[in-house]
Amino acid sequence: MTDVLIDTQFNDLIATALAARSKAYAPYSKLAVGAAVKCKSGAVFVGANVENRSFGLTICAERIAVGAAVAAGEREFVAIAMTSDSNEPIVPCGACRQFLAEFNPHLIIVSATVHGDRKIDNLSRLLPDATRGILKDADSS
């Protein structure tokens, strides 16, 4: 996709993710991340990273947002925005890529920094063949 789309199409979603970032609990990494996932229905759910002194228990902002959406009955997602104050737009970690692919292997990933840098990607590029494996597809009911 082109930079023109990045600059116009996802402004609201990025703004929502930036607001969610203020709720992050990141006392260890100091990397506060906010996320906002847009559902096919138009609804938007937010998340912020929640760290833990036992690092493996840390939950990324993207998974918090999607978890909140699923708990509210949503399962179809079109895009997720994530925001941070890093020097460059961050990308979802490997665990989040797999988690997001459960619902949409072609999810649009929009990443923005508080400094105004933006990058758009597609989950299918970040995690190819996400649904090819030994497990049969989940029952979507």
- Measured in degrees and rounded to the nearest 5, phi and psi for residue 46 equal -115, 160
Which residue among the candidates 51, 62, 76, 102 is catalytic per the annotation? 62
Smaller CB distance to Zn ion: residue 11 or 91? 91
Q: Is 74 a catalytic residue?
A: no
Binding part of the chain for Zn ion, among 4-12, 33-41, 42-50, 59-67 by CB under 5 A, reads 59-67
Residue 35 makes contact with Zn ion by CB under 5 A: no
C-beta of residue 13 within 8 angstroms of C-beta of residue 112: no
Start-to-end CA distance of the chain, whole Å, equals 33
- In the sheet that holds 118-122, the strands lie side by side as 44-48, 34-39, 77-84, 108-113, 118-122
Q: Tokens representing 1?
A: 């996709």
Q: Which stretch, 18-26, 88-96, 112-120, 129-137, contacts Zn ion (CB under 5 A)?
A: 88-96
Among 93, 106, 114, 131, binds Zn ion (CB under 5 A): 93
* CA 25 to mean position of chain CA atoms: 16
- Kindly state the smallest distance separating residue 81's Cβ from Zn ion, in Å: 14
Q: Among all residues, which ones are annotated catalytic?
A: 62
Q: For binding to Zn ion (CB under 5 A), which residues are involved?
A: 60, 93, 96
